[in-house]
Amino acid sequence: MTAGKLIVLTGPSGVGKGTLLRSLRQRHPELCLSISATTRQPRQGEVDGVDYHFLTRPAFQDKIAQDAFIEWAEFAGNYYGTPRQSLETQMAQGHWVILEIEVEGARQVRRSFPEALLVFVHPPSFAELERRLRGRDRDSEEAIQRRLERAKEELQAADEFDVQVTNGVIEDALQALEVAVFGESKA
């Protein structure tokens, strides 16, 4: 069995990580996406076990105690973590696995998996980040404010990562991401 590759996509909430990953996986269906656990309430249309594994805080804390996450972090008042077992199974099968996680979790992955490829996504400007967060109309004003506060810190950490991509024109960002992951673009 060959070990797979681990790729981390990080950057502020609302920058377009999820959007980029959806497009990347349309072009490269062989890429596996890790499904995170969270204590956040499901948004309308989100499905347990598909978008996230939705857990109560005590259940999440039990899993922390059992060392069931390869990384976890608190973000905007909720816990988020990457389940260890499914990731290790996919990697052992030789799959390439992508994590879409915030910066603190990405730092933990760097420590545990130094060979992982870590990609940081920038917004074209802070004003555009705010516009995207508001435009998707999914979070309360309080949740948006917490994401924007956190974004300021996260943007300062960009230099810690292997590759930095700016998500201005989506096609350009996708191409840069493809080059980072595969060494070439299909576009």
Ligand X SMILES: Nc1nc2c(ncn2[C@@H]2O[C@H](COP(=O)(O)OP(=O)(O)O)[C@@H](O)[C@H]2O)c(=O)[nH]1
Ligand Y SMILES: Nc1ncnc2c1ncn2[C@@H]1O[C@H](COP(=O)(O)OP(=O)(O)O)[C@@H](O)[C@H]1O
The verdict on whether residue 16 carries a ligand-binding annotation is yes
Q: How far is the CB of 128 from ligand Y (least distance, A)?
A: 8
* Out of 8, 32, 91, 100, the residue judged to bind ligand X by CB under 6 A: 100
The residue among 75 and 120 lying less far from ligand X, judged by its C-beta, is: 75
Asked if residue 146 lies in contact with residue 140, where contact means CB atoms within 8 angstroms, the answer is: no
> How many angstroms separate the CA atoms of 10 and 153, rounded?
13
Neighbours of 36 (CB within 10 A): 21
Q: Does 136 bind ligand Y (CB under 6 A)?
A: yes
How big is the site for ligand X, counted in residues (CB under 6 A)? 15
Asked if residue 110 lies in contact with residue 118, where contact means CB atoms within 8 angstroms, the answer is: yes
For 66, phi and psi rounded to 5 degrees? -85, 5
The verdict on whether residue 183 carries a ligand-binding annotation is no
110 CB-contact burial (10 Å; exposed 0-12 / middle 13-18 / buried 19+): middle
The residue among 101 and 180 lying less far from ligand X, judged by its C-beta, is: 101
Partner whose binding site includes residue 15, from ligand Y, ligand X, none (CB under 5 to 8 Å by kind): ligand Y
* Out of 8, 24, 95, 102, the residue judged to bind ligand X by CB under 6 A: 102
Partner whose binding site includes residue 19, from ligand Y, ligand X, none (CB under 5 to 8 Å by kind): ligand Y
Applying the rule CB under 6 A, the residues between 5 and 34 that interact with ligand Y are: 13-19
**With CB under 6 A as the contact rule, which of the stretches 19-27, 79-87, 166-174, 176-184 interacts with ligand X?**
79-87
> How many angstroms separate the CA atoms of 78 and 75, rounded?
5
Q: How far is the CB of 100 from ligand X (least distance, A)?
A: 5
Q: Does 73 bind ligand X (CB under 6 A)?
A: yes
List all residues 6 or more positions away from 102 whose beta carbon is below 8 Å from its beta carbon.
10, 13, 73, 75, 80, 150, 154
Q: Does 38 bind ligand Y (CB under 6 A)?
A: no
Q: How far is the CB of 64 from ligand Y (least distance, A)?
A: 24
> How many angstroms separate the CA atoms of 85 and 4, rounded?
14
Nearest one of 119, 129, 128, 131 to 158, comparing CA atoms: 119
User: Which segments are annotated as binding site?
Assistant: 11-18
